[in-house]
Amino acid sequence: MDTTSWPGIGIFGAGKVGITLARLALDAGYTVHIASSGPAADTARLTRYFAPGAVAANAEDLALLADILILAVPLHRFTELPLATMGDHIVIDAMNYWPPINGVMSEFETDGRASSMVVRDALPQTARLVKTFNHLGYHQLEELPRPAGSPDRTALAIAGDDTDAVQTVADLVTHVGFDPLPAGPLAASKAMEAGAAAFGQQLDIDQLRHLMGLDQAA
C-alpha cells in the first residue's frame, strides 16, 4: 500500500492515549510527530522506547509538521496547547470531560453542549474539529485493531460538522484497524462521552449504530 500521500499525524500528548495512537498510526504507515508539555528532547527519550518511529517535536511546532492534529491531553490542560496554530487543520478531539480525572470544570458543567463544542469554540474558526478515539480506553485501542473485513472488527464513532474532514478521519480510523461510523454533527458527540451508553463498549458497527440510535435516524 502506497502511504506516501497520506496526511501526516501530529499528536499533542505523550501519555497513554497519545502513545497508543502514535503506535497505531505508525503501524498503519503514517508519519507521526508527537509533542508533550516538555521540550522535544524529553519527549524523544519517551518515544524512543514506547513509540519508536515517532518524531518528537515541540508543541509550538507541531502544526507546521502535520496535517491532522490529535488532542490527546487531559481536558483540563487543553487550553495550555498552542491553539492559535491549529487553524486550517483537521483537529481530532480524543479528550473526555471526566470530573474524577479533570476536576470540576465550570465551562463544561454549565454549558450543556457536547464537550467538543466547547473545545471547538477555543480553536481558530478555520480549524475543522472532529471527535473520535475518545469512547474506547487506551487499552482497548491497543488491543482491538483488526484488518479490514475481519468479522470481529470494532467500530469507532466519528462526529464532525465538516464532511471532508470526517471522511479523512474515517480513512485514518480504517487504516489503524477499526470500522468508522459517522455519527452526525459535532453536537452529536455527546453520545460518545463518558457516561453515555456507547462509552467503553467494544461493539461492531451495527451494534454501535443501534446503541447510538443511528439506525432509527436513517
Q: ∠ CA(210), CA(165), CA(186), 5° rounding?
A: 50
Which set of grid coordinates corresponds to residue 196? Answer: 453515555
Query: Which pLDDT value is given to residue 92?
Result: 98
The residues, ordered by sequence, that sit 6+ positions from 40 with a Cβ below 8 Å of its Cβ are 56, 57, 58
DSSP 158-196: EEES-HHHHHHHHHHHHHTT-EEEE--SGGGGGGGSTTS
Residue 27 backbone dihedrals phi, psi, to 5 degrees: -60, -30
Sign of CA dihedral 202, 200, 50, 41: positive
Query: Which pLDDT value is given to residue 125?
Result: 97
Phi-psi region of 197 (alpha: psi -120 to 50; beta: other; left: phi over 0): alpha
Query: Which pLDDT value is given to residue 215?
Result: 83
Q: What distance in Å separates the CA atoms of residue 159 and residue 184, rounded to the nearest whole number?
A: 5
Along the 218 residues of the chain, how does pLDDT read in single tens digits? Answer: 778 889 999 999 999 999 999 999 999 999 999 999 999 999 999 999 999 999 999 999 999 999 999 999 999 999 999 999 999 999 999 999 887 777 787 877 777 889 999 999 999 999 999 999 999 999 999 999 999 999 999 999 999 999 999 999 999 999 999 999 999 999 999 999 998 999 999 999 999 999 998 986 54
Domain spans of the chain, in order of start: 9-217
Bridge partners of 158? 182
Query: Which pLDDT value is given to residue 217?
Result: 53
Query: Which pLDDT value is given to residue 69?
Result: 98
Q: What distance in Å separates the CA atoms of residue 25 and residue 196, rounded to the nearest whole number?
A: 27
**CATH 1.10.1200.10 fits domain 9-217:** no
